[in-house]
Amino acid sequence: MKVLIVEDDPLHRMYLNEAVHAALPECELIMEASDGLACEKLAREYRFDKIVMDLQMSPRNGIEAARTIWHERPETSILFWSNFADEANVRGIARIVPDGAAYGYVLKSASEERLHLALRSIFVEAQCVIDREIRGLQQKSLGNVYGFSDSEYEILIDIALGLTDRAIARRRNLSLRSVQNRLQSIYDKLGVYNPSADTSSEALFNLRARAVTVAFLRKLLNHPALERAEAELAIWLKRIARQDAQL
């Protein structure tokens, strides 16, 4: 067995190295990388199929590195190990996990015993292991009345990127009315509204900007999520520019 540890903090790398040795005595090779770019290079060169991955790293974060690795080798098992239980990270991972892949998401605050159990469960037994707090976010996203549907979350991302209603409608293949209805649902779920009861008074908030602020405060959005979204937006803009040029 070979395990690649990807973590930008040297002390955390040392802790993970010790944890892998303790939990996986059958492991023959442990290598370390300090960011996503180094991870991709080592995973490709040494064909690692078992990786422990931090999420918040520069210049390339864990989700982007995992996307590349899973694209090239979808059978790879990845344990995400992070300080953050953000819905943005939960959704980012859910979008890229290949069907049938064993993966996990464990918080750095988890006990040593919990980490050891996750390492064996994912890398030996091919089981998925998700911390309770993170699983609660998954369930909220999928079913709770205050959770966001995938379509609503995409539109939340789009307004954070600054797209107009019409641009969102074009990008998401929706009618303008459907976009506006989803925006209203987003405002309701975030509790975003203009508090003045007097409709003749000047509005206190720009609701779109307020929604983005509240989403950041509630950890529905984060910097890596917007970095990914900005890259995807650039690809879409180039595609529609080509389409418009052909008309």
CA angle 98, 53, 226 (to 5 degrees): 75
Closest CA to 185 of 142, 152, 232: 152
* Residue 40 C-alpha from the chain's centroid: 18
Identify the residue whose tokens are 């959005």.
Answer: 221
Confidence class of residue 46 from pLDDT cuts 50, 70 and 90?
very high
Identify the residue whose tokens are 């976010």.
Answer: 137
Task: Give the pLDDT of residue 141.
Answer: 52
Q: From CA 129, how far away is CA 176, in angstroms rounded?
A: 40
Q: What is the CATH number of domain 150-245?
A: 1.10.10.10
Domain boundaries, the chain: 2-142, 150-245
- Record: fold of 2-142: Rossmann fold (3.40.50)
pLDDT, tens only, 89-118: 888 888 899 988 999 999 999 999 999 999
Task: Give the pLDDT of residue 220.
Answer: 84
Task: Give the pLDDT of residue 138.
Answer: 58
Task: Give the pLDDT of residue 145.
Answer: 45
DSSP states along the chain:
-EEEEE-S-HHHHHHHHHHHHHH-TT--EEEEESSHHHHHHHHHHHT--EEEE-SS-SSS-HHHHHHHHHHH-TT-EEEEEES---HHHHHHHHTTPPTT--EEEEETTS-HHHHHHHHHHHHTS---EE-HHHHHHHHHHHH-TTS--HHHHHHHHHHHTT--HHHHHHHHT--HHHHHHHHHHHHHHHT-----S-TTSPPS--HHHHHHHHHHHTTSS-HHHHHHHHHHHHHHHHHHHHHHHH-
Confidence class of residue 87 from pLDDT cuts 50, 70 and 90?
confident
Closest CA to 137 of 91, 192, 87, 187: 87
Task: Give the pLDDT of residue 144.
Answer: 47
pLDDT, tens only, 180-201: 999 998 998 888 887 655 555 5
pTM attached to this predicted model: 0.72
* Residue 206 C-alpha from the chain's centroid: 27
